[in-house]
Amino acid sequence: MIITQLLSCAKDGQEYVILNGKYLKGVNFFYYIDPNSPTIQLSWDYPVKPGTENWKKFQSHKEMTDACQIPENILSSLSTKELTIICLQYPLLTDIFAFNIPDDGIDALFNNFNGIRELFNRKEGTKELLSWYNCQIRNCSLLVGNENISEEDTEKFLISISVLEYLLSRAKDNYMDVLKNLVLGYETKLQYPDYISSGLSHNLFSRAHIIDKMCTQCFDDIPNKGSLFVTWYFKEYIDIINKLSYMLIK
């Protein structure tokens, strides 16, 4: 299982990275990170962000996505660590939840954002996403009885986990490590039912995709196989995904 030191520092329980010598609070998500983690300096940031006057001037979704593209000369020079953070701060990242079919939302993200396409073409891309995911899962315990974390930040934290699970469903390699981490994530979520409920389906969705890549025949005998790749599940499908997960990682 891949367990690596995370790549950012934390102040007051919130994630910061350094941009041109200044601390920059995360744009989309609440990442509760080990304060002893090293910082990584970002050389680029989104020029226009939600909530700003310039963002409010956009008349279409395409104008928003166009404004968020990473210039090609910068994209190729970014380290994979840096690119991962930039992708996780993509202002339109939560658009993946705006579709009835999850794969349609993920496809739209890949079609609309050059940063995520580049990340998944990088050799270390999956490993970097796993580092973030593993840390988020380990920090679920910090939600319990923590009066310093608001309901809004708790929601953002949980969304960040679901986003990472959706992204990991598209992993091109390291399938065993991805599946092991997703199983760990599922087991961890079950420990906190008061905080995490619907997020279980995102984990099952991602594991179904990874299992299908590791074992192309595993789902062949299942009626209506396509139902495995949605975010609602009958108990029968949950049992199948869990059984195959533990069979493959043992």
The pLDDT tens digits for 192-215 are: 887 776 678 899 999 999 999 999
Quote the tokens at residue 120: 């998944």
Nearest to 204 by CA among 172, 159, 176, 165: 165
Q: What are phi and psi of 11, to 5 degrees?
A: -135, 130
Quote the tokens at residue 199: 């997020």
Nearest to 115 by CA among 133, 128, 102, 101: 128
Listed by start position, the domains of the chain span: 9-249
The pLDDT tens digits for 116-128 are: 999 999 999 999 9
Residues 6+ apart with CB under 8 A from 187: none
Residues 6+ apart with CB under 8 A from 42: 17, 18, 19, 20, 24, 82, 85, 86
Distance CA 180, CA 202 (A): 15
**What is the predicted pLDDT for the residue at 68?**
97
pTM of the model: 0.85
